[in-house]
Structure 1
Amino acid sequence: MSTPRFLDLPPGAAPQKIETPLGTFAALEALPVNGVVERWPALLVPGLTGSKEDFIAVLMTLAQSGRRVVAVDLRGQYETPGPDDPSAYTCAALGADVDTLAQIVGGGEAVHLVGHSFGGLVAREAVIDGRTKFASFTLMSSGPGAIEGLRAHNGRKILEEVPELGLEHVWQTRFEPAALADDVTPEIRQFLHRRLLSNSPTALIHMAEQALTMRDRTDELAEMELPTLVLYGEHDDGWPPESQSEMAARLGAESVVVPGAVHSPAVEAPETTATALVRFWNTAETHHRETRSLG
Structure 2
Amino acid sequence: MSRPATFVPPPGARAYSLRTARGEFAVVDAPAADGVEPRGVALLVPGFTGSKEDFNPLHVPLAERGYRTVAVDGRGQFESDGPKQDESAYAQEELARDLLAQTEALGEPVHLLGHSLGGQISRAATLIDHTSFRSLTLMASGPAQISPSQQQRVKLLQDALAVMSMAEVWEAIRAMEAPEETATARLDGGLDNREDLRRRWLHTKPAQLVATGRQLCSEPDRVAELAAVPLPFHVLSGALDDTWPLALLDEMAVRLKARRTVVEGAEHSPNTDRPLATARALADFWDRAAEGR
TM normalised by structure 1 equals: 0.92
Partner of 1:59: 59
User: Structure 2: any 5+ residue segments left out of the alignment?
Assistant: 185-190
Residue from 245, 249, 252 that aligns with 2:250: 245
Name whichever of 131-140 and 190-199 sits farther off: 131-140
Partner of 2:187: none
Change (3 A) 1:179 1:33: farther
Partner of 1:135: 134
Change (3 A) 1:91 1:223: same
Please give the per-residue CA displacement for 1:205-255, whole angstroms capped at 9, x wherever unaligned.
111111111111000000002100000111111111111111111111111
Change (3 A) 1:219 1:273: same
Residues 12, 32 of structure 1: 8 Å contact kept = no
Query: How much identity, in percent, do the aligned residues show?
Result: 41
User: What are the equivalent positions in structure 2 for 1:203-218 lying under 5 Å apart?
Assistant: 203-218=208-223
Per-residue deviation, 1:183:
4.9
What is the distance in 2 between the residues matched to 1:276 and 1:165?
Answer: 41
Change (3 A) 1:271 1:260: same
DSSP 3-state at the match of 1:12: coil
Residues 113, 138 of structure 2: 8 Å contact kept = yes
Per-residue deviation, 1:179:
7.0
Instruction: Say whether residues 1:234 and 2:239 are aligned partners.
Output: yes
User: Structure 1: any 5+ residue segments left out of the alignment?
Assistant: 289-295
What is the distance in 2 between the residues matched to 1:249 and 1:4?
Answer: 31
Letter in structure 1 aligned against 2:241 = D
Name whichever of 225-234 and 147-156 sits farther off: 147-156
User: What are the equivalent positions in structure 2 for 1:97-246 lying under 5 Å apart?
Assistant: 97-105=98-106, 107=107, 109-130=108-129, 132-175=131-174, 177-178=176-177, 180-185=179-184, 187-246=192-251
Name whichever of 93-102 and 279-288 sits farther off: 279-288
What is the distance in 1 between the residues matched to 2:82 and 2:212?
Answer: 12
Change (3 A) 1:179 1:35: farther
Partner of 1:292: none
TM normalised by structure 2 equals: 0.93
Residues 79, 203 of structure 2: 8 Å contact kept = yes
Residues 31, 37 of structure 1: 8 Å contact kept = no
Instruction: Say whether residues 1:274 and 2:275 are aligned partners.
Output: no
Residues 94, 122 of structure 1: 8 Å contact kept = yes
Residues 176, 189 of structure 1: 8 Å contact kept = no
Letter in structure 1 aligned against 2:289 = A
User: What are the equivalent positions in structure 2 for 1:1-150 lying under 5 Å apart?
Assistant: 1-35=1-35, 38-83=38-83, 84-105=85-106, 107=107, 109-130=108-129, 132-150=131-149
State the aligned residue count: 286
Please give the per-residue CA displacement for 1:166-217, whole angstroms capped at 9, x wherever unaligned.
2222211224643743252454111111111111111111111111111110
Change (3 A) 1:131 1:278: closer
Letter in structure 1 aligned against 2:285 = F
Please, what is the CA RMSD of the aligned residues? 1.7
Name whichever of 160-169 and 264-273 sits farther off: 160-169
What is the distance in 2 between the residues matched to 1:75 and 1:181?
Answer: 31
